Structure 1
Amino acid sequence: MPDRLPDHYDPNAVEQTVKDHWTDADAFPGVDAPEETNHAYEYAKDRSRERDGEELYFLDGPPFTSGRMHVGNAWGKVLKDALLRYHRMQGRAVRARPGYDTHGLPVEVSVEQGHEFEMKQAVEDYGVDRFVDECRTFVNDQRAVMDDEFRDLAVWMDWDDVYRTMDPEYVDTVWDAFAALYDRGLVERGDQVVNTCPRCETAVSDSRLEYEARTVEAVYVGFDLADHEGERSEPSERASGTAASSPGTLVAWTTTPWTVVGNQFIAVDAAGEYAAVEVDGDAVGTDGPLYVAAERVPAVLAALGVSKDDYAVRETVRGSDLVGLTYVHPLADELPDHPTPHGAVAHADYVETDGDGTGLVHSAPGFGYEDSVALNATESRTGSETTR
């Protein structure tokens, strides 16, 4: 007959009983036992070697040491541990080395919160070296806590041989790997726009971004096509003809008007159909034709407050006819030292002529990765000075 179950269940007591059993059995390396002790972990490897078992080296992907273990860490570790136990049961000599990611914003932000720092300047005033030392201390403290938490989950890894990304040996291997890639011609130099945190003034990886849906107002922006001398064309100087010989205004639709300051090109669909629309009177503040995706003419003109009787489609052209045309930056007068006072029309795969916009996309490479890629693909000018 089994012993009678206790009237009161104490999970902490049960957990401690299990831990004591693991300790008595030397289940884990690195748990307050003499070096000569043959831990069960080492015993499993030795038995596999005696049977000529295949060796398996597993390098654990490192979690951040920015706080205590969370459910995602636990889930990942348990799944890995189950797989490694299976390989041990198959006779393989498994070496599973855990590690921790000790670099990056998560650690720094945790330390900043302890000091209630809100901006990068506060860190500089406090002292960068002093701040880095505190980050190292924080990392080591959290690493010890997480070691114990993972062992409490019975994760069977080499807890006496943990690696950290801040260890010089680890950093050296990263540089060695990069050098090998470079020697094989797999590294090239180029420009790329990266996510930036305005608070801490540093790059942020895509995985750290958080998105939310917002309802915003969109605006239409006019980009006056330039004449052969790169200046705005006056109405009297505009001659009738094709899009390539008749300056007018490119109409772009944007939900981020603050990025217009960094505009460098207008993206179109080279295979799309665009209309040159003549507007009567001063309804839109320009005397030349407006260039809009043909399918979007009624909606765009209605949004601009132009009635059907006050405009007419003069001609339609392909987007490829617009590619290469130049225009004057709409803020050229306000920003006389703008690095690119004249932009050009270019093709981009992401442009839609049947979407919510005009079929012409205002593009500011300094504010978006896709715009930067499209700019480089067209071999246009680079080097926007807009960084914030």
Structure 2
Amino acid sequence: MITPIRANYDAKSIEKGIQEYWKAEHAYEKTREARKDGKKFYFVDGPPYTTGAIHLGTAMNKTVKDILIRYWSMNGYNIRDQPGFDMHGLPIEVKVEKNIGVHSKKDIEELGIDKFVNTCKEFAIGLREDMTEQFKQLGVWMDWDNPYQTIKLDYIESAWWTLQRAYEKGLLKDSSRVVTWCPRCETALAEAEIEYWDETDPSIMVRFPIKGDNASLLIWTTTPWTLAANMAVAVHPDFDYARVRMSGEKGSEELIILESQADYVMQKGGYEKCEVLKRMKGQELEGIAYEPVFNLDVPPAEWNYKVVTATYVEQDNTGLVHTAPGHGPDDYETGKRYGIPPFCPVAENGRYTDEFPLMVGKKVKTVHDDVIKYLDENGRLYNSSKIKHRYGHCWRCKSPIIYRNTRQWFVEVPKVKDEMLAEIDRAKWVPDWAGSTREKNWVEGARDWCISRQRYWGIPMPVWECECGEKKVVGQYEELKAGEGYTDGMDTHRPWIDGVTFKCPKCGKTMHRVPDVLDVWFDSGVAAWASLGYPH
């Protein structure tokens, strides 16, 4: 019987009919059965994130994958078509916080980490179920009854195994470094977790009086709040600097600045005349001592409050850079070269600690006016204006980030960079530029990966430590049986895994788990083998 052509194309009714036909005839199951003896084709689904309904990008991504799977299936291949879901991480935590009305880590811990984590789990599972139905409605054929889920115990174990292998190869290290930090979420962030947009901030020039001299070093900064952590002033060793006398109706003063910026600095200070008294290279300034802005109890070091050299200093503003090793990656490295400790009087919540008594308890991003007022009242403020510039924000809560020195765990990617580049060259990429430019450029610029996060809903770091310094990295659940507090099949999320301890083989004291969880990007990064249940 010939079915008459429809006068109008009704997409909804046609789609419904096809879906019902596939279901009634078990079309997916029959197709897979027909291909079971074919040559195996391994496909890994990069997992979508379970924070809401699928969006156009997710829909397009799955549609392209569906086309690929169908193509190879129609060519007789037995396709491994397991879908995956990325179900941990800060984005889910932030959604749950809003749903249950908590606003900080303190609130979460008062509620109970167990209750918060269970709520995150329920939230993620509910959205995974919703997304599955939405993908089915798109007509995507995958093994929807058996998805891999990053929250499953076997998946967590595979991630642990990966980290243990990294530790054995000398690629997993802990270190105190300056990292990007969200004061609202109270955790370290990766560069990929930061969004940038324009912000208006103070732009100030500050006098640092030279000890035993009537001249001042003149620095410039857009972060007045970091002046409490100032430990040095950086100059470029090869640039031309000058000691100048600024003068005019308001009086006169002597400053050390970048010579090429003399007229600019003169105008900023409201002076009419600038006289060069002496010229010198930046290298000649090294070691000059100055009076700190705030007289704080900082860790002692030979190079505290002295001029240091750094090649990242640029030829703009005053040419002298306020250096706070506790609040800037470049500053930290400079401090490390000179043996200057990273002083960081800022807590996880972005408030000053009692190490800065003048403003203890205040949020650092709210004290600009207070700091500027203090500088002005104490004769340190040379100029104050505003600047519009790009500034980083947490990708989920949208709060401005800060930099602070904390202890974190890193995978030392540069050590395996050559191997990674070789694998990129060995693979066939479609289109070619995806590998030859995008992936290759990313790997060439890769630095140590900060994989630790100070949160709750994530794969727990499988690292146990003793106060004597001994460390233990667990790779499989079988190893937990040697400790106290473990039972077979227990949930290895926080807070339950936090109760598992070991006896230190070195000193006999108790080893506790590092409280951090893994960067959620690590979850999806191990999908190629974790989805297979590796290493079992």
TM class by shorter chain equals 0.7 to 0.9
Count the aligned residue pairs. Answer: 345
For residue 16 of structure 2, what is the aligned residue in structure 1?
16
Aligned with 1:300 (options 265, 277, 284)? 265
User: Would you say the 8 A contact 1:220–1:251 is kept in 2?
Assistant: yes
Deviations 1:196-225 (A, max 9, x none): 222232233333323221334411012233
| Aligned-residue identity in percent | 34
Aligned with 1:384 (options 344, 347, 357)? 344
The offset of 1:304, in angstroms, is 0.9
User: Using CA pairs below 8 Å that are at least 6 residues apart, which structure has the higher relative contact order?
Assistant: 2
The offset of 1:140, in angstroms, is 0.9
2:142 maps to 1:157: yes
The residue correspondences of 1:151-300 to structure 2 (distance < 5 A) are 151-225=136-210, 232-235=211-214, 248-280=215-247, 289-300=254-265
User: Would you say the 8 A contact 1:339–1:385 is kept in 2?
Assistant: no
2:92 maps to 1:107: yes
The offset of 1:92, in angstroms, is 4.1
2:294 maps to 1:331: yes
Moved more, 142-151 or 370-379: 370-379
* Unmatched tracts of structure 2, length 5 or more: 351-536
More strand by share: 2
For residue 43 of structure 1, what is the aligned residue in structure 2?
34
How many Å separate the matches in 2 of 1:295 and 1:64? 52
User: Would you say the 8 A contact 2:325–2:331 is kept in 1?
Assistant: yes
The offset of 1:145, in angstroms, is 0.9
Amino acid at match of 1:21: Y
Deviations 1:238-282 (A, max 9, x none): xxxxxxxxxx42211112212211223323222222112134589
How many Å separate the matches in 2 of 1:149 and 1:369? 44
* Unmatched tracts of structure 1, length 5 or more: 29-37, 226-231, 236-247
How many Å separate the matches in 2 of 1:12 and 1:79? 21
Flag the 1:337–1:26 CA change in 2: closer, same or farther, 3 A.
same
The offset of 1:106, in angstroms, is 1.1
| TM-score (structure 1 length as normaliser) | 0.78
User: Would you say the 8 A contact 2:325–2:343 is kept in 1?
Assistant: no
Q: CA RMSD in A?
A: 2.8
How many Å separate the matches in 2 of 1:360 and 1:166? 50
| TM-score (structure 2 length as normaliser) | 0.58
Flag the 1:386–1:43 CA change in 2: closer, same or farther, 3 A.
same
User: Would you say the 8 A contact 1:339–1:384 is kept in 2?
Assistant: no
User: Would you say the 8 A contact 2:327–2:344 is kept in 1?
Assistant: no
How many Å separate the matches in 2 of 1:22 and 1:67? 27
How many Å separate the matches in 2 of 1:315 and 1:306? 19
Amino acid at match of 1:140: I
Poorly superposed stretches of 4+, deviation over 6 Å: none
How many Å separate the matches in 1 of 2:33 and 2:208? 71
User: Would you say the 8 A contact 1:41–1:156 is kept in 2?
Assistant: no
